């Protein structure tokens, strides 16, 4: 059921419940894409050179390796039970989590991690100096919350090039899932000082018109490419994180660009990213760059 030559979906696992949820989500994603699934675990240290274990006692390395292989066997049994016949492979590495996943992202179509809590928090907080979502070579999905099976895919649109990349991924995901897409553009009072429209209600009307025009322009080509996807356009007077969090309550997937202008600026390192990655009620896909 796997097409030859397809880039794999790669999921990072450890012994946490969050990682198990990520693996289950990843197997569904791989099945939808008819792509192979790679289950990866890393047992090295992030604060040494590429997670090197060269200076560690050989007995310690042997124990960690055995634990990793046992974890991979259990995880493989779990995912194969969900989709029998799926092309599943496992990998254990003595590198640290962050460098191992950055390397894996070079060959992955999508990189999947569990809810960023506990050991995985460092993947999104910049510790140890590497932000996975900002530097990965493919989109990163943080699996958290409870995706609504019949919910829509939601994408944040701010007009930036990375927003454009996010739109493309959102359409693709909506098409694969046979569901609708909500495209959201927001503006807030801080935008009024830069418009030159005057004051009061006129400013707000102009900003709303601009938002609808931006959505129409950004979505047109993608709607032609994916005619099967119904799109609901939303332009709201609010901060993006507020509306995205609200929409995540009934969504299958939330898609955003990692670096944008306006409301999505600093998405990965700033307060918006923290809100989405730690409080969204559905999985969050962070798109840094396009990858074919």
Nearest to residue 215, comparing CAs of 239, 186, 190? 186
- Exposed, middle or buried by CB within 10 Å (0-12, 13-18, 19+), for 278? middle
Q: Where are the alpha helices (DSSP H) in 178-236?
A: 200-225
pLDDT digits (tens, 9 = 90+) for 159-174: 777 788 899 999 999 9
Spatial distance between the Cα atoms of 75 and 73, rounded to a whole number of angstroms: 6
Tens digit of pLDDT for each residue in 232-285?
999 998 888 899 999 999 999 999 887 533 334 434 434 566 678 778 899 999
CA distances from 248 to 58, 226, 253, 292 (A): 46, 23, 7, 27
For the chain, which domains are there?
9-143 (3.40.50.12370), 152-287 (3.40.50.12370)
- Residue 114 structure tokens: 């569990």
Per residue in 65-117, pLDDT (tens digit) is 999 999 999 999 999 999 999 999 999 998 888 889 999 999 999 999 987 54
CB 2 within 8 A of CB 36: yes
Position 184 scores a pLDDT of: 94
% of the chain beyond a pLDDT of 90: 47
| pTM more than 0.75 | yes
pLDDT digits (tens, 9 = 90+) for 187-243: 765 555 554 555 556 667 787 888 889 899 999 999 999 999 999 999 998 888 899
Taking a C-beta distance cutoff of 8 angstroms, is the pair 266, 130 a contact? Answer: no
DSSP state of 55: T
- The Cα 184–Cα 120 span in angstroms is 29
At 137, is the secondary structure helix, strand, or coil?
Answer: coil
Write down the pLDDT at residue 261: 39
Closest CA to 153 of 291, 250, 271, 62: 250
């Amino acid at each position: 059921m796997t097409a030859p030559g397809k880039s794999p979906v790669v999921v990072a696992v450890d012994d946490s419940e969050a990682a198990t949820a990520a693996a289950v989500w990843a197997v569904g994603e791989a099945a939808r894409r008819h792509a192979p699934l790679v289950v990866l675990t890393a047992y090295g240290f992030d604060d040494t050179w590429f997670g090197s274990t060269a200076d560690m006692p050989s007995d310690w390395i042997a124990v960690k390796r055995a634990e990793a292989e046992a974890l991979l066997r259990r995880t493989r049994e779990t995912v194969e039970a969900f989709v029998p016949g799926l092309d599943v492979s496992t990998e254990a590495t003595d590198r640290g989590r962050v460098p191992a996943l950055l390397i894996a992202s070079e060959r992955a179509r999508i990189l999947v991690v569990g809810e960023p809590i506990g050991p995985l928090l460092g993947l999104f907080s910049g510790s140890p100096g590497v932000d996975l979502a900002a530097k990965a070579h493919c989109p990163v999905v943080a699996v958290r919350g409870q995706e609504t099976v019949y919910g829509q895919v939601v994408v944040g649109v701010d007009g930036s090039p990375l927003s454009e990349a996010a739109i493309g991924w959102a359409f693709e995901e909506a098409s694969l899932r046979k569901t609708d897409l909500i495209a959201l553009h927001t503006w807030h009072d801080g935008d009024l000082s830069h418009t030159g429209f005057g004051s009061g209600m006129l400013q707000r009307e102009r900003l709303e018109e601009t938002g609808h025009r931006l959505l129409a322009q950004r979505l047109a080509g993608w709607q032609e490419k994916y005619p099967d996807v119904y799109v609901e356009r939303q332009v709201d007077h609010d901060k993006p994180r507020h509306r995205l969090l609200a929409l995540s309550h009934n969504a299958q997937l939330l898609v955003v660009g990692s670096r944008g202008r306006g409301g999505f600026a600093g998405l990965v390192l700033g307060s918006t990213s923290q809100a989405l990655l730690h409080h969204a009620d559905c999985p969050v896909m962070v798109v840094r760059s396009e990858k074919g």
